[in-house]
Amino acid sequence: MNTKFKQTEIGEIPEEWDIKKINNVTEKIIDNRGKTPPLVSKGFELLEVNAILENKKTPDYSVVRKYVDENTCKTWFRGHIKRKDILIPTVGTIGNVAILEETRGEIAQNLIGLRVKKNVNPDYIYYYLKNPYHKERLLNLDIGGVQPSIKVPHFLNLDIALPSLNEQQQISSILSFLDNKIELNRRMNKTLEDMAKALFKHWFVDFEFPNEEGKPYKSSGGEVVESGLGMIPRDWYFDKLMNIADITIGRTPPRMQSEWFSENTNDIAWISIRDMGDSGTYISQTSEYLTKDAVKRFNIPVIPENTVILSFKLTMGRVAITTTTMLSNEAIAHIKLTNESLLPEYIYLFFKKFDFSSLGTTSSIATAVNSQSLKHIPILIPDTKTMSLFATIILPIFKQIKENIKQTDILVRVRDSLLPKLMSGRIRII
């Protein structure tokens, strides 16, 4: 298709596309009061800004910690969200956006719901708002303050490029196909990790690993002995983390010297706690990189592939396994196993179950543990036969998780490459 373009205030677009204000395609804005409603311990979810993530199409209900009852839903809120409403933060994470795939919950302050008109495809508007160019325009609307914030009228006055409804649907179907596959991989990985956690608990918490006859050890009369930290199977023991692993801590070059930081994927990935929050079992993507000169100049510890990393400051207890040579900031510890009988996957699962509050805190400002406390964490060491048997079951599960993450990374790159081209008409699909 030989497309002719016209110049507009938002750039070149195909001649047959329209330019409209967001307000002109909007049927309703759900904008509730700028205060918190009466809360209950259980009920209808109250979605807040933190549920709208950069890398997830739908709201993340798993982060919801506030609820309202049915009476509050009926009498307090000025509007109610429903399926295919688009959710947009007006404070904080400006530029993040989500779309509802089910009618569920209510929205809190600093979050608006956008309901588009019948002759507009809501998924197209969602993807248009995801366009990096549009995110930059939103950030330019920031009115200042402690956190980035925008006014709803300013947002509604933004121009958008609008192809025919048929082309909107075609564009949305391609991007939705990719997002659906990404979400399927994430759900599959959650199921696989839940299986791994359940197996770990059954074997190393409940001590129901197979005995010599293949029967559950403890419930079949397996011997347990006092360890000083509780009863454990015979021939098992506890050892300090520093005795089974080399532990290093990441480092940050001077922020004022921007030459050490990079967004170039040819440089070395540098992990932040936020990156760990965005990752799953394995961490493969980071928002920033450090140059090789920075690593050498500031003697920044290098993290080998397949190393367990653990956040121990600010947000404590995030755990992941590296997929390549990486770096981190100083809030993240690197656990490089020296005990050859142990698996990184075992240590990962151990820390996913570990109660970090038992270590105490060293900061009145943010949750943190002393690096010495970290080194003295007692690690349960099973006998080599049990660990070897555990490996035959657990390693294929983790291998599948890792493969799914690799596939997801490719799909994300394809989606992010296609999105701005489809939204500008540089790629046509009709």
Same domain? For 374 and 254 the reply is yes
Domain annotation covers residue 202: no
Query: Considering only 126-130, 299-303, 364-368, which range has the smallest mean pLDDT?
Result: 364-368
pLDDT of residue 298: 95
CA distance 317 to 320: 10
Range ranked top by mean pLDDT from 276-290, 358-372, 381-395: 381-395
82: its two tokens: 């429903």
Q: Indicate whether 64 and 147 sit together in one domain.
A: yes
| Range scoring the smallest mean pLDDT among 187-191, 202-206, 268-272, 275-279 | 275-279
pLDDT value at residue 365: 37
Query: pLDDT tier at 429 (50, 70, 90 boundaries)?
Result: confident
92: helix, strand or coil: coil
Q: What is the pTM of this model?
A: 0.87
Answer whether residue 389 is part of any domain. no
Q: Could you tell me if residue 226 is inside a domain?
A: no
Backbone φ, ψ for residue 315 (5° rounding): -110, 105
The answer on 326 and 242 residing in a single domain is yes
Q: Is the per-residue pLDDT at 146 higher than 70?
A: yes
At residue 372, the pLDDT reads: 82
What is the CB neighbour count within 10 angstroms for residue 123? Answer: 21
Is the per-residue pLDDT at 417 higher than 70?
yes
Q: Is residue 289 part of a domain?
A: yes
More confident residue, 100 or 368: 100
Measured in degrees and rounded to the nearest 5, phi and psi for residue 106 equal -130, 165
pLDDT at 364: 42
Whichever domain contains 366, its CATH number is 3.90.220.20
Percent of the chain with pLDDT over 90: 80
158 shares a domain with 268: no
3-state secondary structure the chain: CCCCEEEECCEEEECCCEEEEHHHHEEEEECCCCCCCCCECCCEEEECHHHCCCCCCCCCHHHCCCEECHHHHHHCCCCCCCCCCEEEECECCCCCCEECCCCCCEECCCEEEEEECCCCCHHHHHHHHHCHHHHHHHHCCCCCCCCCECCHHHHHCCEEEECCHHHHHHHHHHHHHHHHHHHHHHHHHHHHHHHHHHHHHHHHCCCCCECCCCCECCCCCCCEEECCCCEEECCCEEEEHHHHEEEEECCCCCCCCHHHEECCCCCEEEECHHHHHHCCCEECCCCEEECHHHHHHCCCCCECCCCEEEECEECCCCEEEECCCEEECCCEEEEEECCCCCCHHHHHHHHHHCCHHHHCCCCCCCEECCHHHHHCCEEEECCHHHHHHHHHHHHHHHHHHHHHHHHHHHHHHHHHHHHHHHHHCCCCCC
Q: Which two tokens stand for residue 41?
A: 């311990």
Helix (H/G/I), strand (E/B), else coil: 305: coil
State the average pLDDT for the chain. 92
Q: Using 50, 70 and 90 to split pLDDT, how confident is the model at 362?
A: very low
Where is the domain boundary, 162, 187, 212? 162
Structural domain that includes position 66:
5-162
Residue 329, pLDDT > 80, answer yes
Using alpha carbons, select from 303, 327, 331, 330 the residue that is nearest to residue 315. Answer: 331
The last residue of one of the domains, among 115, 139, 162, is 162
pLDDT at position 315 is 81
Structure confidence at residue 366 (pLDDT): 46
Q: What are the angstrom distances between the C-alpha of 106 and each of 43, 49, 89, 117, 262? A: 11, 12, 14, 21, 39
Whether residue 121 sits in one domain with residue 13: yes
**Residue 427 domain-assigned (yes or no):** no
Could you tell me the pLDDT band of residue 326, with boundaries at 50, 70 and 90? Answer: very high
pLDDT of residue 244: 97
Indicate whether 158 and 241 sit together in one domain: no
Same domain, 156 and 247: no
Residue at 333 is within a domain: yes
pLDDT tens-place string over residues 189-209:
999 999 999 999 999 999 999
Regarding whether 140 and 16 lie in a shared domain, the answer is yes
- Say if residue 9 is in the same domain as residue 158: yes
* Confidence band of 394 (pLDDT split at 50, 70, 90): very high
Beta strands, E only, 223-331: 224-226, 231-233, 237-240, 245-249, 261-262, 268-271, 282-283, 288-290, 308-311, 313-314, 319-322, 327-328
Q: Say which range, 45-59, 237-251, 291-305, 360-374, has the weakest mean pLDDT.
A: 360-374
Count of domains for the chain: 2
Q: Residue 318 domain-assigned?
A: yes
In a domain, 192, yes or no: no
Residues 248 and 371 in one domain: yes
Same domain, 247 and 351: yes
State the average pLDDT over residues 102-121. Answer: 95
- Stronger pLDDT, 48 or 140, i.e. the higher one: 48
Give the pairing type, strands 282-283 and 319-322: parallel
Last residue of a domain, one of 119, 136, 162: 162
Residues 248 and 144 in one domain: no
> pLDDT at residue 213 above 90?
yes
Q: Is the pLDDT of residue 270 over 90?
A: yes
